[in-house]
Amino acid sequence: MNAHYAGTPPPADWRERLAARLGQRPRRIGVWAELALYGARRCLDAAGLDVLPAGALLRAASLRGPMQATREAVEQGKSGLPMPFTFLQSQPCQALATLSVALGWQGDARFIACRDRELLLRMAEREAERHGVLYGWIEEGAKPSTEWWWIGAA
């Protein structure tokens, strides 16, 4: 079945809900990756899936990405070296790594963004034909959002 979760915005206590769902607080990941994890988990739960099925694709997109961690890492770099975890959190791919572990899955994950969201969604749908795709759009900041689609195999 297909499923959609629109945390636009997510509930105020989304971090507590995520920790409750996972049984622990995610460690050493930034807010952007945590938002991604919350939305992806909610979407898979809506689809009745505990793990992301083998062979499925994972696609994440964002306009601003992990900007908070990026700014922090740049600021830290002015006077010394950035903190390793801050630097890691500035990379969108760290969210993909986090999702891979949390969703019990190894496979084709991409961060790919485009101003035309419909185009990106159509690309994901086309790629989903064989095994399905979990596709999400995540924004942190004053108006956080995490919106995800599970599009099952055709």
Partner 1 sequence: MKDAYIAGSGLASALGSDLPAAIEALREGGVAPRRFELPSGNAWPYHAIDDDCADWSARAERIVRRVAAESGALSMRDGPLFVASSSVDIGARELDRRFEHDMLAFADGVQHWLDWRGPVYSVCTACTSSMVALFSAADCVRAGLCESALVLGVELRNALSVGGFGAMQLLSQRPARPLGAARDGLVLGEAVAALHVSREPAPWRFAGGANVTDGRDPAGIVPDAVEAACRGALASSGVVPGAIDLVKLQAAGSPSGDANELCALERIFDPLPSLTTLKSALGHTLGASGAAEIALLVACIDAGVWPDAGHPLDRSLGARLVARTPERLRHALVNILGFGGGHTACVLEASPR
* Residues 14, 140 contacting (CB under 8 angstroms): no
Tokens read off for 100 = 């891979």
78 part of the interface to partner 1, by CB under 8 A: yes
Mention every residue, 6+ apart, whose C-beta is less than 8 A from residue 95: 29, 32, 33, 36, 37, 60, 66, 111, 138
How far from each other are the two terminal CA atoms of the chain, in whole angstroms? Answer: 10
74 part of the interface to partner 1, by CB under 8 A: yes
97 part of the interface to partner 1, by CB under 8 A: yes
110 part of the interface to partner 1, by CB under 8 A: yes
* Residues 105, 51 contacting (CB under 8 angstroms): yes
Q: Which parts of 23-62 interact with partner 1 (CB under 8 A)?
A: 58, 62
98 part of the interface to partner 1, by CB under 8 A: yes
Segment contacting partner 1 (CB under 8 A): 14-22, 34-42, 43-51, 121-129?
121-129
Find residue 134's DSSP bridge partners. 58, 150
Tokens read off for 53 = 């099925």
Question: Please, which residue, 11 or 54, has the CB nearer to partner 1?
Answer: 54
153 part of the interface to partner 1, by CB under 8 A: no
Which residues are near partner 1 by CB under 8 A? 58, 62-65, 67, 70-71, 73-74, 77-84, 87-88, 90-94, 96-101, 106-116, 119-120, 123, 126-127
